[in-house]
Amino acid sequence: MRRNILLYAPRRAGKRTRARRRRTADIFLMLVMIGLSLLAISAGAQAVTAWRAERAPVEETGSRKTAGAPPEEVSSEERLGGDICEPPDAEPSQAAQEETGPAPSGAYDFSKPVPLSAPADTAYFDDAVFIGDSRTEGLFLNTGLSNATSLAHMGLMVDTVFTRPLFNVDGEKVSVIDALKTAGFSKVYVMLGINETGWIYSSVFIQKYGELIDAIREINPDAVIYIQAIMPVSQRVSDTHSYIKNAKISEYNQLLQQLAEEKQTYYIDAAGAVAGEDGALPEDAAPDGIHLARSYCQKWLDYLMAHTAPGEKGGAA
């Protein structure tokens, strides 16, 4: 009996060794599968985050908002929050180099900003609609521009003009585009884009802006449409804010000028009306470096009155 035990003992030891090896291999395989699963989950989460970042509205003076949630007022202390990809290097300001007349051929050159014209009076805006964000709200508040129609609201963007119910029409809240359908107008001034500097893709911004121009034309094919250049922010804001950068604003303005040529609409270099020599908003132009003080709102309005479309009353010859 003892001899039989001695003979089978090595066999049992060998089986135990092989069993331990199989368990070790199984555990290793399980860890590898868990690791691959975690990598897949992480990649998926990053993709979803990027998609949401592209679609999420960004408050013009605050951090990124959740997609679908309406922007809310934020305090100046919160204006430096949020995170966004860095824009390209700063580009030259589009400060006005005034044109003195139309293209040599006699046809208007929509690739250039509206040239200096004989100043119009405020009655020029009697049949005008202004579409914009809180900066345009400030224009109305600080200049007493009461004869024009304001379809401006804090946080408004080129996509939410179609979707966000903001304006009361016959007791019902409707979007900018739906409100525009009920307004009698022959001129439209658009100033949008600073909120959208937080968007990842410039191509999405300019596509949506083009859709807005098309929608205005569909409502009134004969309307004179002015695309206003996005005004810069102060250098302090540009240097410290997480996504509002003058370089991005300059990039957008170049795209807007190209869009104006493509859509045969008038491009107004409103940025040149308020920018300093360095292309940034002077420190005294806006208490928060973004929203214009009363005197600079008046400069903006004066610039619009002195840059009207050829053929319009007071416009360039």
Q: Give the mean pLDDT of 21-31.
A: 74
pLDDT for 31? 72
DSSP-assigned letters across all residues of 248-292: HHHHHHHHHHHHHHHHT-EEE-HHHHH--TTSSBPGGG-TTSSSP
Helix (H, G, I), strand (E, B), or coil: what is residue 85? coil
**Please, what are the domains in the chain?**
91-96+110-305 (3.40.50.1110)
pLDDT for 189? 98
pLDDT for 95? 39
pLDDT for 66? 32
Q: Is 192 left (phi over 0), alpha (psi -120 to 50) or beta?
A: beta
pLDDT digits over 61-101, tens only?
433 333 333 333 333 333 333 333 333 333 434 433 344 33
Q: Is residue 126's pLDDT more than 90?
A: yes
pLDDT for 124? 97
**How many other C-beta atoms lie within 10 A of the C-beta of residue 187?**
22
pTM attached to this predicted model: 0.69
pLDDT for 3? 52
pLDDT digits over 128-159, tens only?
999 999 999 999 999 999 999 999 999 999 99
